[in-house]
Structure 1
Amino acid sequence: MKILVIADEESRSLWDYYTPDKLKDIDLILSCGDLKPEYLSFLVTMAHCPLLYIYGNHDGIYERKEPEGCICIENQIYEYKGIRILGLGGSCWYNGGSHQYTQKEMKRRVQKMWLKMRQKKGFDILLTHAPTKGINDEESAAHQGFEVFKELLEKYSPKYHLHGHVHLNYGRKPRVTKYKNTVIINGYESYIFTYEE
């Protein structure tokens, strides 16, 4: 299954210079947040496949104008063709804006999902806006990762953790890295990968 991951900045290639061949083989689009609702609606229309999204820390607009034709999976485990995708949006708290959480608040969000995780026997993809603490994150309060994400990776060993928030143009952060058995992908702008069954 070919999956397009998007986050943080609209891809000019996919929007301003769109051609049908760019999305023709995409089976699923996953948004890691901080993208215009019009952009998500455009992509889901052109790709003819589902687009699942979570909130970034700059997505307060979604409360007034949701992306049309897209599916929000905040605090859910959404199953698509046998792939279980856990959605946890938002960033670490730094100025009190929408979709910002302290480490304790994110931990509570995860704890509230224990029954869903048990019923689904875990998940295959962790879809978040912020990265995991200590993996692809930064020291600044605004770009720290969440500690509880590492606990999720260790306990459930998902195949992938997809995140955004830390823009690749901030410095020499890797696009793709690995933590134990989990491949971690920074979805900044756009990235396509093949999900192996």
Structure 2
Amino acid sequence: MIDIVAVSDEERSYLNIKKCDILLGCGDLSPGYLDFLMNKLKPKISLMIYGNHDKKYFQNLFKVELSDYSNTYKGLKIIHQDIINLKEILNIKKSLYISGFSGAYSYGKKPFHFSEKDAKIFKRILGRKKAFKLIKDIDIIITHSPPGLENLFEKNISAFHKGSSIMANIYMKYFPKIWFYGHIHPRYTDQILNFRIHYKNKISYLLNSVPYKYVRYDEEKKEVVEIIGEEKTVKFKDIFL
């Protein structure tokens, strides 16, 4: 079993979690807070992408890392438009692939914001890796904005918060076991922000990581075993595609 903690947008001094194998930063969190979580949870690997408010942590935008370990977020590996296999790092029997894409679906500087054109580049990158058999299935994808799947949110969610249609295409093509996103704060809405996506007799979990989600994942059976959030009971909306 693999213990995964995904976080974004809101910082908490207390999490009812003692440890994890993988820490995932889904954007809009300070380097100091992520350092605090790494010291508390002792993950074997910490990965992250950027949110739309992370620009403030960089004085020089030419020094924003898009891959490898960050000089700003010490100890965290950036996986923007990248995909990595954690099999050896976690010392597990089967491959476990994680991919990520930074930014909010809106207007602004990359990689803190992105357009459909930028999302198409990510789609092509994944497509090339699949074509050359560098990947088969993706277990987890992390983004800041949600993918723009139909019927997720009600009408009072803005067009940009509903997400990119290209990212929705990526979701359906690779149908990861888990997709973590941030950007939409649960305390600002009474809508359900966590989803069970049903497609061709398969289930994928689209999970809001604000302020955190804990997932226990059976990496051999490729199944989600447990999901815990700040709320006592995680509520899901079932989406059938």
Answer whether TM exceeds 0.5 for this pair: yes
**CA displacement at 1:166 relative to structure 2:** 0.7
CA separation in 2, counterparts of 1:57 and 1:187? 15
Return the match for 1:89 from 102, 113, 117: 102
**2:113 — aligned with what?**
100
Structure 1 runs (4+) deviating above 4 angstroms are: none
SS at match of 2:97: strand
**1:52 — aligned with what?**
47
**2:33 — aligned with what?**
39
**1:166 — aligned with what?**
184
> For residues 89-122 of structure 1, what are the alpha-carbon distances to aligned partners after superposition, in whole Å with 9 as ceiling and x for unaligned?
111124x245111222212232233222441113
CA separation in 2, counterparts of 1:195 and 1:136? 26
Structure 2, gaps ≥5 residues long: 60-70, 88-94, 220-241
Q: From the CA coordinates, give the structure whose radius of gyration is larger.
A: 2
SS at match of 1:109: helix
**1:192 — aligned with what?**
214
Which has the higher relative contact order, 1 or 2, with Cα contacts under 8 A spaced 6 or more apart? Answer: 1
SS at match of 2:173: helix
- 8 Å CA contact 1:153–1:182 kept in 2: the answer is no
Q: TM-score, normalised by structure 1?
A: 0.86
Q: What does 1:100-139 align with in structure 2 at a 5 Å threshold?
A: 100-118=113-131, 119-133=134-148, 134=150, 135-136=152-153, 139=157
SS at match of 1:112: helix
**2:80 — aligned with what?**
74
CA RMSD between the two structures? 2.1
SS at match of 1:74: coil
Q: TM-score, normalised by structure 2?
A: 0.71
**2:197 — aligned with what?**
179
How many residues align structurally? 189
CA separation in 2, counterparts of 1:128 and 1:58? 14
**CA displacement at 1:136 relative to structure 2:** 4.7
